[in-house]
Amino acid sequence: MIRFVATLVPVSYFLVFFCLLLVAVSTPSDAKVQFSNKKTFDRVTFEFETPAKFRSQKFGSQILIEFNTPISSKFDKGKRDLGKYIKTLLTQDEGREAVVTMQGKLEYKVYRVANKIILDVGPEVESASNGLEGPKDRKTSNKKKTKSPVSVRVGKHKDYERLVFEWPKQVNYSITKSPDKISINFDSQGSVDLQAVRRQLPRSFSSFNISEDKNNNLEVIIGYPRQSAIKHSKLDKKIVLDFLNSKEISSQAKDTSEEKSTRLENKSDKQTIALAEKLGLESGSKKESKDLRQNVSLPKADIQETLKPTKGQNTNANKSDSVLEPEKKPETRSPEPSKLVKDLSINQNFLSDPKWKVNSPTNATAALPVSASKKGQISIEFSKTNNVSSMRFGWSENVPAAVFTRAGYLWAVFDQEVSLDVSKLKSEILQIISLPQQIGSDKGTVFRAKLVDGVSASVWRDGNIWVVDLVPQQSRPDVALQFVTQQTSPQGPRVFVLAEGIGEAIIVTDPEVGDRLFIVPILPLSRGVEENQTFAQFNLLKSIQGIVIQPLIDELEVRVMPDGVAVTASSFKGLEVSDPSKVVTQKTLSIRSADGLPGGLEPGRIFNLASWRQGAKPHEFLDFKQRIQNQISQATSIARSGPRLSLAQFYFAKGLSAETMGLLRTISSVDEELSRRPDVIALRGASQFILGRFAEAEKELDNGLLNGFSEAELWRGASNAAQGKWAAAIEHFARAGEIPGDYPRNFSTQLALWAAEAAIRAEDYRGAGVFLDTIADGKPTAGEQARLNYLRGRVLYASNDITTALNYWRRLIEAPDRWARVRAQRSLIEHDLQSNAITRTEAIEKLEQLRFAWRGDQLEFNLLRRLGELYLEEKDFVSGLSALRQAVTFFPNNVETRVVSKRMINEFSSIYTDGTADSMTPLTALSMYDQFRELTPVGRRGDRIIQRLADRLVEVDLLDRASVLLDRQVKFRLRGKQKAIVGSKLALIRLLDRQPRLALDALNESVSPGLDSRLALERKRLRSRSVFELGDSESALKLIKNDDSRKADLLRADIYWRTQDWERSALIYQRLIGDTGKDGRRLSDLSATLVVNWVVSLSMNGQKDKLNEARQIYAAMMDSTRYREAFRLITNKTAEDLQDFRTLTERFQEIGRFQGFLTSYREKLRDQPLSKIQ
């Protein structure tokens, strides 16, 4: 631990130090680049001053190595002759990247040794990096070659700190302890990565070093605190050392008396015999009892032998468990009960211990208490039936589980997170198990308990309750889970375990062994791994239920998928797995024959292409074809389906999909039973895909009979990708894993291209690189190479290697392959637009040209969509909406068509609702609406658009065009009250446009029940006006007979005026005028008009007294209006002087034109839009 001591330092010193630090950080490392040539490989060594981080990636014959520290070494980068396996070495990105070009198709390996990053290239490079120092010359002695790599893991726990030495084989060891250090001597040669261990060493350790004895065997010297005691044990190939803290020392060092040890041993023997009797292992002979006591041992955590070595004492450490305690003065203590009894009492009450503390998932070694953070609680109950002891986990719902034994412990792991109550476990079962614990984990629930030797577990279910039986024999799962190794998948090489009903992967640390486990619970009963499976970077452990994975590298990843569990690695090269074995066991054959398919296939496969080829060489194709055709011709009509299917399979295995499809159609028409077989269905779907009939292929491949076949998932993914259904394609490709290596080249290339595209869209660039390498290794044609380079450019662009990606695409725009050329051009246009190298207008021009270079698939759809977006950004709404409409019209079945349609509707709506259309002329807005009328959204939003556009047309007196809009709305869009409201406004517009009959039609068309009184009266007045305009004044007056509103009086005044009923006209006008003007205020134009009409009616009716009264009241006020002369003339002359009404109206044209009812609406339309008028 570094301690900083606070001292007073002058500020100037600090600034100088800080500046020097900045210079040190920013200065590139002067890395030494060395080249060497061996017999089977060439080597490049990058040696840094301090350890540097790196990442490597392969693109065809080029290897890209990225460093976090730039290289500033001076060397001739492009011209050096590096050997027969490495062609050139170039640096780029200011020395942060090294690009190595290989001489052809070779293997390579990049690895670290101390401060060196080493690259080996050649036909055989595996041996180059087996040791820490890489390959040696032949003169190297055999000592170093036989050294075994030893993995050292460090764990920090609450009461102790643990070191685990894991050997590739079983070894013996001894321990020598001194006051300030401990030496572990192994009986075998080994090597340890010192720097890796020291980085994770706890602070309490002062040092960690290695040495060799005279036989070159490994010796480890550890400096540690003097007060620490050491517990050590051997478990198979692992040597475990626990450095206990002071509290643990006191509990471990209590029972040192010889008398206590004797009592403990005697009591242990009695309990062992009793346990054997309970398990049905009793025997009458004393010898068997003695043997039983030797074989059935108590848990090693319960009985620990305490040793007191002196300084330099050498202690034999090859026993199963022992403790080294530091020197202490002897203490006199009263006798204590047996430690076994004490531990049992602790186990029964561990949940109530107030000092107990939940560990983090990383440590995960202590039992969990009942905590509010857990989602509920379940109890573990004990039951015994027919001398079989059982633990019942009382779940109330279906929960996936995993059950297994490891290092003498029983594990039960569940998918859901709860607290476990072990208080109901009886002392009887605690004689079979001990130390029941709930282990901390990142999720789920983990139970662990120590088992007595010779006892195993089996699992079954009672409804939702999981029951674990403790039995005296080894148990196996009823159904052994199958697994396959896949070299090529979206995640790189992987191991895929086939399973269903899978829960979440749970990460937990084994407190006994000190390593980490991935545990995957499974819902179906008794599905587990039958035997331990060993891989280079992980172990698949034996289990009774579920999947248990022991990682051997930090980069291991476990991915849960709907139909299995994928084990991958996060590093670039991925998981190290061998090619799947070509040998199929009899067991596999019998399993595969049960699913309706011919035997001989690996799990997940459905096409047996090796068998379908029938061993035919290319030049033998015609002979084999004619041989099968001869079999078809010689067979009877009902027996021809078999040979036909053989010929179809032969065609497919040779890459001839059209011929395959023709035969399959014939088979389907004559043999329905054979056509329903899973492999025949898949064959039809795959053939349809190769022929470009992607929708038909998807229909065939979606058949439920193909579920569970990873090979079918591959074709499902490709058919979905080809239709632009990328989300589904990504999921199917993830389930599929690899592209089988026995496919015809044209099939595998097409599948790999779609898989790489899906991986790029999922931002899985490593997976994309795997598929692209598959294409590159398959001797692609010029066209396929062009497509490969385009996709490589996309991977590089997404990885921020912009320069290299652009170089790929610029070379492709001159390439003869049209597929790659058009896509590369579009990618360059998008890059230039994003980097502001071109304007949107220039981008539109270039994309318009591309429309004629490629037609008819997803690319044209994407081009039209992008053009529409750019036009809309440029405010060219007609061109933008036209381009989007073409995309929807030309590609109605595209998965993105609905998205584009929604985008069009939203853009169209916003033009008329957010004020954009207000900047257009009314005719332009109307023209665009007419052109894209079908985009009007349904519901109130669309209604608002129509009404707002009608408002603008009414404002500029385009009444006929406004009435057309509202007429469609009334007839086709509206119902109920809204229909009546808009119908009334349509009638008003038509009345203003002098179309009373059409106004009456609008009112009839919009009749709706349940209208309020205000709206009903308004519609009656409009109907009355329409009827009056059609010449029926009596009916018009009857409609408003009971309406005493001002609007009704205006309408009555109009009717009486037009019919020259001057007496009633004068009464109505006088009522409309009311007290207006009597207060001496200025008259409004409307009031002045009413006064003129009133005096005209009085004059025409010969009412001189009323006329004089009007003159006295309004003469002065009317002098200030435009009716001054008319008012004076009318009120000063008699009816005889005026001759008749026509003479008067001819002289004063404004008289008689006033229509009070409609004028009131016109006045409102000046102040507010039509849609706001009530």
Highest mean pLDDT among 97-111, 752-766, 928-942: 752-766
pLDDT at 732 over 60: yes
Q: Per-residue confidence at 506, pLDDT binned at 50, 70, 90?
A: very high
| Residue span of the structural domain in which 710 resides | 594-779
Q: Radius of gyration of the chain from Cα atoms? A: 46
Backbone angles phi and psi of 338, in degrees to 5: -60, 140
Residues 112 and 160 in one domain: no
Q: What is the CATH number of the domain that holds 185?
A: 2.60.40.3500
> CA distances (Å), 81 to each of 37, 62, 89, 103, in order?
11, 16, 10, 12
Q: Per-residue confidence at 650, pLDDT binned at 50, 70, 90?
A: very high
Q: Report which of residues 775 and 280 the model is more confident about.
A: 775
Angle at 279 between CA 276 and CA 281, to 5 degrees: 55
pLDDT at 262 over 80: no
- Residues in CB range of 509: below 8 A, 6 or more apart: 155, 361, 362, 363, 364, 365, 439, 515, 516, 517
Give CA–CA dist 593/600, Å, rounded.
8
Residues 656 and 774 in one domain: yes
Q: Report which of residues 131 and 501 the model is more confident about.
A: 501
Highest mean pLDDT among 30-44, 477-491, 708-722, 951-965: 708-722
pLDDT at 1043: 86
Q: Which of 724, 758, 779 is where one domain is finished?
A: 779
pLDDT at 1053: 86
| Predicted confidence (pLDDT) per residue in 651-693, tens digit | 999 899 999 999 999 999 888 888 889 999 999 999 999 999 9
Helices then strands, counting H and E runs in the chain, come out as 41, 41
| Predicted confidence (pLDDT) per residue in 739-783, tens digit | 888 888 888 888 989 998 888 888 888 788 888 888 888 788 888
Q: What is the CATH number of the domain that holds 697?
A: 1.25.40.10
Residues 496 and 644 in one domain: no
Mean pLDDT of all residues in 832-845: 92
Inside any domain, residue 464: no
Q: Per-residue confidence at 1146, pLDDT binned at 50, 70, 90?
A: low
Q: Report which of residues 989 and 317 the model is more confident about.
A: 989
Q: Per-residue confidence at 145, pLDDT binned at 50, 70, 90?
A: very low
Give CA–CA dist 417/374, Å, rounded.
6
Looking at 119-128, 412-421, 858-867, 1064-1073, which range is the least confident one? 119-128
The number of folded domains in the chain is 5
Give CA–CA dist 475/990, Å, rounded.
91
Inside any domain, residue 19: no
Mean pLDDT of the chain: 76
Inside any domain, residue 605: yes
pLDDT at 593: 40
Hey, is 766 helix, strand or coil?
A: helix
Tokens representing 1167 are 């102040």
Looking at 29-38, 578-587, 744-753, 1021-1030, which range is the least confident one? 578-587
Inside any domain, residue 392: no
Q: Are 382 and 515 in contact (CB under 8 A)?
A: no
Q: Are 44 and 100 in contact (CB under 8 A)?
A: yes
Residues 742 and 630 in one domain: yes
Highest mean pLDDT among 205-219, 481-495, 928-942, 1059-1073: 1059-1073
Q: Per-residue confidence at 1123, pLDDT binned at 50, 70, 90?
A: confident
pLDDT at 226: 52
Mean pLDDT of all residues in 573-602: 50
Residues 527 and 649 in one domain: no
Tokens representing 164 are 């685990």
Q: Is 45 left (phi over 0), alpha (psi -120 to 50) or beta?
A: beta
pLDDT at 604: 79
Highest mean pLDDT among 93-102, 373-382, 507-516, 690-699: 690-699
Give CA–CA dist 691/144, Å, rounded.
59
Inside any domain, residue 951: no
pLDDT at 494: 82
Inside any domain, residue 690: yes
Q: Which of 114, 136, 158 is where one domain is finished?
A: 136
pLDDT at 610 over 90: no
Bridge partners (DSSP) listed for residue 527: 479
Residues 771 and 626 in one domain: yes
- Spatial CA neighbour of 819 closest among 776, 772, 768, 855: 855
- Spatial CA neighbour of 117 closest among 193, 42, 28, 51: 51
pLDDT at 1018: 85
Bridge partners (DSSP) listed for residue 165: 152, 239
- Spatial CA neighbour of 486 closest among 753, 741, 801: 741
Q: Exposed/middle/buried for 458, CB within 10 Å: 0-12, 13-18, 19+?
A: buried
Looking at 41-50, 332-341, 738-747, 1100-1109, which range is the least confident one? 332-341
Residues 562 and 601 in one domain: no
pLDDT at 1088: 84
Looking at 57-61, 202-206, 274-278, 516-520, which range is the least confident one? 274-278
The number of beta carbons lying within 10 Å of the beta carbon of residue 17 is: 11
Residues 568 and 638 in one domain: no
pLDDT at 3 over 60: no
Q: Which of 541, 560, 581 is where one domain is finished?
A: 581
Percent of the chain with pLDDT over 70: 75
Looking at 317-331, 633-647, 1032-1046, which range is the least confident one? 317-331
> What's the predicted TM-score (pTM) here?
0.50
Q: Is 600 left (phi over 0), alpha (psi -120 to 50) or beta?
A: left
Give CA–CA dist 589/583, Å, rounded.
11
Highest mean pLDDT among 22-36, 277-291, 427-441, 504-518: 504-518
Q: Are 202 and 161 in contact (CB under 8 A)?
A: yes
Residues 637 and 774 in one domain: yes
pLDDT at 1163: 57
> CA distances (Å), 143 to each of 146, 166, 212, 806, in order?
6, 20, 12, 52
pLDDT at 868: 93
Inside any domain, residue 232: yes
Q: Are 880 and 868 in contact (CB under 8 A)?
A: yes
Q: Are 122 and 107 in contact (CB under 8 A)?
A: yes
Highest mean pLDDT among 301-305, 439-443, 486-490, 1167-1171: 439-443
- Residues in CB range of 870: below 8 A, 6 or more apart: 840, 843, 844, 847, 880
Residues 568 and 630 in one domain: no
Q: Per-residue confidence at 179, pLDDT binned at 50, 70, 90?
A: low
Distance from the Cα of residue 600 to its chain's centroid: 36
Residues 1112 and 1172 in one domain: yes
Residues 726 and 649 in one domain: yes
- Spatial CA neighbour of 239 closest among 336, 342, 168, 158: 168
Inside any domain, residue 287: no
